[in-house]
């Protein structure tokens, strides 16, 4: 029996956030940040995964493998934020189990190009999940984020949307993406933004604009440099993922 989540029905997957037996090594909690921000449990295992993908000498193969592991954890955590309803089932022993059933349809929307790297992790957990795409780039004239392309499931307004982009730096692209989703009828509080690393500046700007939208982030870093790269960060996620 497959436990994969069918995103088009209410039969969502069993969420399997890993229970860690190792105490957190760092308290990278989002203190001072809005209650809509959730980090993964800051375990030593997670920090070891991040150490690998941050290392400039990590091979592309290892970068793919270990960033995929983090993405899988992030997707599972994002699914924990979806609603559930009471549901009773009969077990093979003849007993009744009063449990919970998943509620609500979902879709993914990846912000191109780096966000595409997170689609496979979502598909692994959510069987035949619909995925939309959005391309936002800096407008050379205005220096503001500009929408170049978007394609969404037709019924996106009735779905919970997992918005996928690995790095939340200034927040410009993510905010533009949310603006476009809201224009397509998706309520702000039905969007869950999923990313691997956030800057505190980006989080604050983003959450001030969209206070009811939940952000699931793997790690909150120190800040941004002059080129708007996250520090310490991991460099350009798309380059490391797609280029040798």
Question: Where on the chain is the footprint of ligand URA (CB under 6 A)?
Answer: 114, 167, 169, 229-230, 233, 236-238
Q: Which is nearer to ligand URA, 64 or 84 (CB)?
A: 64
Q: Which is nearer to ligand URA, 84 or 112 (CB)?
A: 112
Report, in Å, the least distance between residue 231 CB and ligand URA: 8
For residue 13, give the DSSP letter.
P
Phi, psi of 207 (to 5 degrees): -70, -25
Report, in Å, the least distance between residue 238 CB and ligand URA: 6
Q: Which is nearer to ligand URA, 113 or 151 (CB)?
A: 113
Q: What is the largest CA-CA distance in the chain?
A: 68
d(CA 39, CA 200): 12
Report, in Å, the least distance between residue 114 CB and ligand URA: 6
Q: Which is nearer to ligand URA, 167 or 192 (CB)?
A: 167
d(CA 201, CA 221): 10
Report, in Å, the least distance between residue 223 CB and ligand URA: 11
What is the Cα 238 distance to its own chain's centre? Answer: 16
d(CA 77, CA 154): 26
- State the distance between the two ends of the chain, measured CA to CA, in whole angstroms: 38
């Amino acid at each position: 029996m497959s436990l994969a989540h069918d995103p088009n029905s209410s039969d969502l997957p069993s969420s399997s956030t890993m229970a860690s037996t190792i105490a957190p090594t760092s308290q990278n909690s989002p203190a001072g940040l809005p209650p809509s921000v959730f980090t993964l449990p800051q375990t030593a295992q997670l920090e070891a995964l991040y150490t690998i993908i941050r290392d400039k000498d990590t091979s592309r193969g290892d970068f793919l493998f270990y960033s995929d592991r983090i993405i899988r954890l992030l997707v599972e955590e994002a699914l924990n934020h979806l609603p559930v309803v009471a549901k009773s089932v009969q077990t093979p022993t003849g007993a009744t189990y009063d449990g919970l059933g998943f509620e609500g349809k979902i879709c993914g929307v990846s912000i191109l190009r780096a966000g595409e790297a997170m689609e496979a992790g979502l598909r692994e957990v959510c069987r035949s999940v619909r995925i939309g795409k959005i391309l936002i780039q800096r407008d050379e004239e205005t220096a503001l984020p500009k929408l170049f392309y978007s394609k969404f499931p037709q019924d996106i307004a009735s779905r919970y949307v997992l918005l996928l982009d690995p790095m939340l730096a200034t927040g410009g692209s993510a905010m533009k993406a949310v603006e476009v989703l809201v224009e397509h009828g998706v309520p702000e509080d039905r969007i869950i933004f999923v990313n691997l690393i956030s800057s505190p500046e980006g989080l604050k700007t983003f959450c001030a604009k969209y206070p009811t939208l939940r952000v699931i982030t793997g790690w909150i870093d120190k800040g941004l440099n002059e080129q708007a790269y996250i520090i310490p960060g991991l460099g350009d996620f798309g380059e490391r993922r797609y280029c040798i």
